[in-house]
Amino acid sequence: MLDIKVIFERLRETFPGQILQLFTDNVDPWIEVQPQALVEVSQFLRDEPDLAFDFLNCISAVDYFDPKLRDSGIFQPRIELLYHLTSLQHRHRLVLKVILPRWKDNLEGALPEVASVSKIWPTAEWHEREIFDLMGVRFLSHPDLRRILCPEDWVGHPLRKDYVIPEEYQGIPLK
């Protein structure tokens, strides 16, 4: 079982400038990765024999948005993606974090984008669809990116902090 600090140093050596930080002060320590390096880093973590992160437990997303601080310059709205990985062979775990701007190209309403890891870990297909549906993150090169929990014609992404519940859906009152 490898220590996360060893994994972090190895990633920094292999991917200079792409591994941003290591945070160990919580239950699930994490390593932050540049969004554009996610696929390459993920492939490395899965394929290196002494790492062998062969299982993607889940991907979770957090919306950091505070409407009161939105234009203050103090707070940077963002979406954070957390990839929980396990090596079944070596029994070690890792969390990768990717931070995305809340809106692509700073255009309000334009969904942020990141590459899909579904070719590396097929279970990502379902996790990425759920995040797309509920949080509004577009996963590039996903084989079937469509809603998974909400109806196809649903407007918006219900877990975003600025989501407004519609008055009705297909004639059914929601409020």
User: pLDDT per residue over 12-66, tens digit each?
Assistant: 999 999 999 999 998 899 999 999 999 999 999 999 999 999 999 999 999 998 7
CATH of domain 4-173: 3.30.460.80
Q: Is the pLDDT of residue 105 over 70?
A: yes
| Beta-bridge partners for 84 | 58, 95
Q: Is the pLDDT of residue 142 over 90?
A: yes
Domain boundaries, the chain: 4-173
pLDDT grade, residue 75 (50/70/90)? confident
Buried b (16+ CB within 10 A) or exposed e, 122-153: eebbebbbbbbbbbbbbbeebeebeebeeeee
CA distance 16 to 168: 50
Q: At 85, is the secondary structure helix, strand, or coil?
A: strand
Beta strands 78-87 and 55-64 are antiparallel
Q: Is the pLDDT of residue 71 over 90?
A: no
Mean pLDDT of the chain: 94
Contact between 19 and 8 (Cβ < 8 Å): yes
Q: Is the pLDDT of residue 173 over 70?
A: yes
- Given CA atoms 97, 102, 105, 109 in this order, what sign does their dihedral have? positive
CA distance 124 to 43: 13
Contact between 115 and 38 (Cβ < 8 Å): yes
Q: Is the pLDDT of residue 73 over 70?
A: no
Where is 110: in which H helix or E strand? none
Q: Is 89 left (phi over 0), alpha (psi -120 to 50) or beta?
A: alpha
**169-173 long-range CB contacts below 8 Å, 24 or more apart?**
none
User: How many residues appear in the chain?
Assistant: 175
Average pLDDT over residues 66-78: 72
Contact between 15 and 39 (Cβ < 8 Å): no
Which pLDDT does position 72 carry in this prediction?
Answer: 63
